Amino acid sequence: MLTEKMQTALNGQLNAELYSSYLYLSMSAYLKSLNLNGFANWMRIQAQEELVHVMKFYDYINERDGRVSLTAVAAPPNEWDSAAAAFAHVYEHEQKVTRLINQLVNLAISEKDHASNNFLQWFISEQVEEEASVNAVVQKLKLMGDAPGGLFIIDQELAARVFTPPPATGE
Ligand code: FEO
Protein backbone atom coordinates (compact mmCIF):
# COMPACT_ATOMS: atom_id res chain seq x y z
CA MET A 1 0.00 0.00 0.00
CA LEU A 2 1.30 3.43 -0.90
CA THR A 3 1.19 6.29 1.53
CA GLU A 4 -1.09 9.15 0.49
CA LYS A 5 1.95 11.39 -0.03
CA MET A 6 3.72 8.85 -2.21
CA GLN A 7 0.59 8.16 -4.26
CA THR A 8 0.07 11.88 -4.92
CA ALA A 9 3.71 12.30 -5.94
CA LEU A 10 3.64 9.26 -8.26
CA ASN A 11 0.45 10.53 -9.90
CA GLY A 12 2.15 13.91 -10.30
CA GLN A 13 5.05 12.24 -12.10
CA LEU A 14 2.65 10.29 -14.33
CA ASN A 15 1.24 13.67 -15.40
CA ALA A 16 4.77 15.07 -15.92
CA GLU A 17 5.62 12.12 -18.18
CA LEU A 18 2.44 12.73 -20.20
CA TYR A 19 3.48 16.36 -20.57
CA SER A 20 6.92 15.25 -21.79
CA SER A 21 5.25 13.10 -24.44
CA TYR A 22 2.99 15.98 -25.45
CA LEU A 23 5.96 18.37 -25.61
CA TYR A 24 8.00 16.05 -27.81
CA LEU A 25 5.07 15.32 -30.10
CA SER A 26 4.64 19.07 -30.54
CA MET A 27 8.35 19.37 -31.34
CA SER A 28 7.99 16.52 -33.82
CA ALA A 29 5.19 18.40 -35.57
CA TYR A 30 7.30 21.58 -35.63
CA LEU A 31 10.30 19.71 -37.11
CA LYS A 32 8.04 18.04 -39.66
CA SER A 33 6.83 21.48 -40.73
CA LEU A 34 10.47 22.32 -41.52
CA ASN A 35 10.74 19.13 -43.62
CA LEU A 36 13.34 17.82 -41.19
CA ASN A 37 11.84 14.34 -41.29
CA GLY A 38 14.72 12.63 -39.47
CA PHE A 39 14.60 15.13 -36.60
CA ALA A 40 10.82 14.73 -36.53
CA ASN A 41 11.21 10.94 -36.41
CA TRP A 42 13.65 11.13 -33.48
CA MET A 43 11.25 13.36 -31.57
CA ARG A 44 8.21 11.23 -32.36
CA ILE A 45 10.01 8.19 -30.93
CA GLN A 46 10.97 10.25 -27.90
CA ALA A 47 7.25 11.02 -27.44
CA GLN A 48 6.45 7.28 -27.66
CA GLU A 49 9.12 6.48 -25.07
CA GLU A 50 7.55 8.99 -22.69
CA LEU A 51 4.27 7.11 -23.01
CA VAL A 52 6.14 3.98 -21.93
CA HIS A 53 7.24 5.93 -18.84
CA VAL A 54 3.62 6.98 -18.23
CA MET A 55 2.49 3.36 -18.28
CA LYS A 56 5.25 2.30 -15.92
CA PHE A 57 3.87 4.74 -13.32
CA TYR A 58 0.32 3.67 -14.13
CA ASP A 59 1.10 -0.02 -13.63
CA TYR A 60 3.19 0.56 -10.54
CA ILE A 61 0.52 2.64 -8.76
CA ASN A 62 -2.04 -0.09 -9.49
CA GLU A 63 0.30 -2.85 -8.42
CA ARG A 64 0.70 -1.17 -5.06
CA ASP A 65 -3.07 -1.04 -4.67
CA GLY A 66 -3.02 2.70 -5.21
CA ARG A 67 -5.39 4.84 -7.23
CA VAL A 68 -4.31 6.38 -10.51
CA SER A 69 -5.79 9.83 -10.95
CA LEU A 70 -5.42 11.61 -14.25
CA THR A 71 -5.31 15.37 -14.33
CA ALA A 72 -5.13 18.03 -17.05
CA VAL A 73 -1.98 18.04 -19.15
CA ALA A 74 -0.64 21.53 -19.88
CA ALA A 75 -0.44 22.66 -23.50
CA PRO A 76 3.11 22.56 -24.85
CA PRO A 77 4.63 25.31 -27.00
CA ASN A 78 4.12 24.90 -30.75
CA GLU A 79 7.05 26.85 -32.16
CA TRP A 80 10.80 27.04 -31.61
CA ASP A 81 13.41 29.21 -33.30
CA SER A 82 15.20 26.28 -34.94
CA ALA A 83 15.86 22.54 -34.67
CA ALA A 84 18.83 23.40 -32.45
CA ALA A 85 16.60 25.46 -30.15
CA ALA A 86 14.12 22.57 -29.87
CA PHE A 87 16.87 20.10 -28.97
CA ALA A 88 18.35 22.53 -26.42
CA HIS A 89 14.85 22.70 -24.92
CA VAL A 90 14.70 18.86 -24.73
CA TYR A 91 18.02 18.79 -22.89
CA GLU A 92 16.85 21.43 -20.42
CA HIS A 93 13.54 19.59 -19.97
CA GLU A 94 15.20 16.24 -19.31
CA GLN A 95 17.42 17.82 -16.66
CA LYS A 96 14.23 19.07 -15.01
CA VAL A 97 12.73 15.55 -15.18
CA THR A 98 15.88 14.17 -13.56
CA ARG A 99 15.40 16.61 -10.68
CA LEU A 100 11.77 15.45 -10.32
CA ILE A 101 12.81 11.78 -10.23
CA ASN A 102 15.49 12.57 -7.64
CA GLN A 103 12.86 14.31 -5.50
CA LEU A 104 10.63 11.23 -5.76
CA VAL A 105 13.48 9.03 -4.57
CA ASN A 106 14.07 11.43 -1.67
CA LEU A 107 10.39 11.12 -0.77
CA ALA A 108 10.46 7.29 -1.03
CA ILE A 109 13.42 7.28 1.35
CA SER A 110 11.77 9.64 3.82
CA GLU A 111 8.55 7.55 3.69
CA LYS A 112 10.65 4.39 4.19
CA ASP A 113 9.02 3.06 1.00
CA HIS A 114 11.71 0.69 -0.25
CA ALA A 115 9.55 -0.72 -3.06
CA SER A 116 9.00 2.74 -4.55
CA ASN A 117 12.68 3.52 -4.17
CA ASN A 118 13.48 0.30 -6.03
CA PHE A 119 10.91 1.06 -8.76
CA LEU A 120 12.33 4.55 -9.22
CA GLN A 121 15.89 3.33 -9.70
CA TRP A 122 14.97 2.29 -13.27
CA PHE A 123 14.15 5.96 -13.93
CA ILE A 124 17.40 7.11 -12.34
CA SER A 125 19.33 5.05 -14.94
CA GLU A 126 16.95 6.02 -17.73
CA GLN A 127 17.52 9.72 -17.05
CA VAL A 128 21.28 9.27 -17.40
CA GLU A 129 20.67 7.73 -20.84
CA GLU A 130 18.08 10.30 -21.86
CA GLU A 131 20.28 13.25 -20.96
CA ALA A 132 23.26 11.67 -22.75
CA SER A 133 21.37 10.84 -25.95
CA VAL A 134 19.83 14.28 -26.33
CA ASN A 135 23.06 16.02 -25.39
CA ALA A 136 24.83 14.07 -28.15
CA VAL A 137 22.46 15.66 -30.67
CA VAL A 138 22.82 19.11 -29.09
CA GLN A 139 26.62 18.85 -29.34
CA LYS A 140 26.48 17.70 -32.97
CA LEU A 141 24.28 20.65 -33.83
CA LYS A 142 26.77 22.97 -32.12
CA LEU A 143 29.73 21.44 -33.96
CA MET A 144 27.91 21.77 -37.25
CA GLY A 145 27.38 25.49 -36.75
CA ASP A 146 26.52 26.95 -40.15
CA ALA A 147 28.26 24.23 -42.15
CA PRO A 148 26.39 23.69 -45.42
CA GLY A 149 24.65 20.33 -45.54
CA GLY A 150 25.26 19.72 -41.83
CA LEU A 151 21.59 19.76 -40.91
CA PHE A 152 20.87 17.34 -43.76
CA ILE A 153 23.51 14.86 -42.54
CA ILE A 154 22.23 14.92 -38.94
CA ASP A 155 18.67 14.62 -40.24
CA GLN A 156 19.62 11.42 -42.06
CA GLU A 157 21.26 10.02 -38.92
CA LEU A 158 18.20 10.76 -36.78
CA ALA A 159 15.93 9.13 -39.36
CA ALA A 160 17.48 5.78 -38.39
CA ARG A 161 16.10 5.81 -34.84
CA VAL A 162 13.46 3.15 -34.25
CA PHE A 163 11.03 2.62 -31.40
CA THR A 164 11.54 -0.56 -29.42
CA PRO A 165 8.37 -1.48 -27.56
CA PRO A 166 8.93 -2.63 -23.97
CA PRO A 167 8.11 -6.20 -22.97
CA ALA A 168 4.39 -6.63 -22.27
CA THR A 169 3.40 -5.88 -18.66
CA GLY A 170 0.23 -5.18 -16.74
CA GLU A 171 -3.04 -7.00 -17.16
FE1 FEO B 1 10.36 10.29 -18.98
FE2 FEO B 1 12.33 11.78 -20.79
O3 FEO B 1 11.90 11.16 -19.16
Output the pLDDT for position 169. Answer: 62
Residue 53 CA, ligand 1 centroid: distance in Å = 7
Residue 90 CA, ligand 1 centroid: distance in Å = 10
Residue environment code for 122-159, b if the CB has 16+ CB neighbours within 10 A, otherwise e: ebeebbeebbeebbebbebbeeeeeeeeebeebbeebe
Q: Give pLDDT tens digits for 113-166.
A: 999 999 999 999 999 999 999 999 999 999 998 888 999 999 999 999 999 988
Report residues whose beta carbon is within 6 angstroms of any ligand 1 atom: 17, 20, 50, 53, 94, 97, 130
Give the residue extent of every domain in the chain.
4-159
Candidates 53, 58, 59, 50; CA nearest to 23 is: 50
pTM assigned to the model: 0.95
Which atom of ligand 1 lies closest to the CA of 127? 3
Residue 35 CA, ligand 1 centroid: distance in Å = 25
Residue 50 CA, ligand 1 centroid: distance in Å = 5
Distance of CA 155 to the CA centre of its chain: 20
Q: Which CATH superfamily is domain 4-159 in?
A: Ferritin, core subunit, four-helix bundle (1.20.1260.10)
